[in-house]
Homo-oligomer: A and B are copies of this chain.
Amino acid sequence: MTSPASGRPLRADALRNRAKVLAAAEEVFAVQGTSASTEEVARKAGVGIGTVFRHFPTKESLLEAVLVALLERLAGEAEELRSAADPGEAFFGFFSRVVSRAATKQAVTEALAEAGVDARAATGRAGPGLRAALGALLERAQEAGAVRADVGAAEVMALLAGMSYAAGRAGAREDVLRIAFDGLRPCPDRAAARG
């Protein structure tokens, strides 16, 4: 996505500015949440507001671009872990890394939430990418017996979003994650415990 939908490629300076805006937006939204103003983003990027709106015609489209970038990066990280030695550690490690990142970056939580629902059109494109990558991690962990067999990628995504939210608010991140992880692990006499 380095050129406008139809027509010539972007001019060099425009390309540079677009990147600056995107980077600034990601940082601003991460710190202040997605309700931060467009002007704040422009200031951080060192460009005029007009420039921001030239590249992203609405605030929503800017936000969308940021979320997509975030999701793609997460998906990439998951992808890399696909061939890790320990599938269980790969899965749980990825999960907790995402959650701990969400604790400081509000935008991550929102991206995950959006990805789960794929409400927005564009995140609808990136969401499945993450879901697929996470799904692969999940499957390998299940085959290795590190994760119970009766959960799917969708539930794990939802759990991930929920835990990210909780991490951003309450303290005790590790303790809450421990509960979720134990819930994900196989447990032979679970039936007994339920009864």
Contacts and interface: CB of A to CB of B under 8 A. Distances in A.
Contacts of A159: 166, 176, 179-180
A179 B148 CA distance: 10
Contacts of A76: none
Contacts of A175: 151-152, 154-155, 158
Most buried by B among A163, A171, A184, A187: A187
Contacts of A187: 182, 187, 189-190, 193
Interface in A37-76: none
A9 interface: no
A176 to B, nearest CB: 5
B163 A179 contact: no
B176 A155 contact: yes
A188 to B, nearest CB: 6
Contact of A117 (B170, B178, B193): B170
Contacts of A170: 113, 116-117, 154, 157-158, 161
A172 B151 CA distance: 11
A179 B172 contact: no
Nearest to A145: B193
Interface of A: 113, 116-117, 151-152, 154-155, 157-159, 161-167, 169-172, 175-176, 178-190, 193-194
